[in-house]
Amino acid sequence: MSQMYKVFVNDKPIIITSSSKKENNFPVYLFKDIVFDEIFYKLQNDAINGINIYSIDLENDWNSFLKNLKVVPAAGGLVLNDQKEVLFIYRNTIWDLPKGRIEKGESIETAAIREVEEECGIFNLTIEKKLVVTYHIYFQNGIRLKETHWFLMNSDYKGALTPQLEEGITEVVFKNEHQTKKALQNTYANIKLVYDTYKDL
């Protein structure tokens, strides 16, 4: 079975894959031929919606890819309440899931719970399982790759939810399936990936 890594630049995917089968209309490049700065520039500025990069040694090439970037580790959660509703935050006019950077010396799981608590004012969180790791590139003093570890969480917390205003979060709310589908029309590609992974369990 072919494997892949998917990295988003402005919600456009770079798909690094060991499969030569084309499953989309994106241009295909060989890993050994790519110039990273050119790839990032194309996705930022050109009218292409994604790029496939074919690799004959996926793990080795993925590690080479990471060496070109400053990796920023983060963690977050897809949180369910007793009604199996999903916890969303609203920030910068976009629906998102709570997440944040892992602090030095902190475990991934501890960071995920701390960030959800801080951003949402929720408690009684338990981790059920790890869902997925997502990747997206952003530009801040050079090219950075945010590597976010996502966990499926549960909480029976019944108190008021409090958005972390200093982080630009203006709303925190649990959404049922119908409301979630609507929210996913106004979110990031990585968040859809997290939700799809949860639904595929």
Check if CATH label 3.90.950.10 holds for domain 72-199. no
Whole-number pLDDT of residue 2: 60
Whole-number pLDDT of residue 139: 86
Distances (CA, A) of 17 to 7, 9, 155, 160, 183: 11, 17, 36, 44, 30
Asked whether 53 and 6 are in contact (CB, 8 A), the reply is no
Which segments in the chain show pLDDT lower than 70? Answer: 1-2
Non-local CB neighbours of 119 within 8 Å, separated by 6+ positions: 89, 98, 99, 100, 163, 164, 167, 169, 172
In whole angstroms, what is the distance from residue 52 CA to residue 120 CA?
Answer: 36
Residues in the chain: 201
162-190 pLDDT per residue, tens = 999 999 999 999 999 999 999 999 999 99
Q: Quick one: 171 exposed, middle or buried, by C-beta within 10 A (0-12, 13-18, 19+)?
A: exposed
End-to-end CA distance of the chain: 19
User: What are the structural domain ranges in the chain?
Assistant: 4-67, 72-199
60-90 pLDDT per residue, tens = 999 999 998 999 999 999 999 999 999 999 9
Asked whether 113 and 79 are in contact (CB, 8 A), the reply is no
How many Å is the Cα radius of gyration of the chain? 18
- The two three-digit tokens of residue 21, written as one number: 């089968």
- The two three-digit tokens of residue 201, written as one number: 């369990």
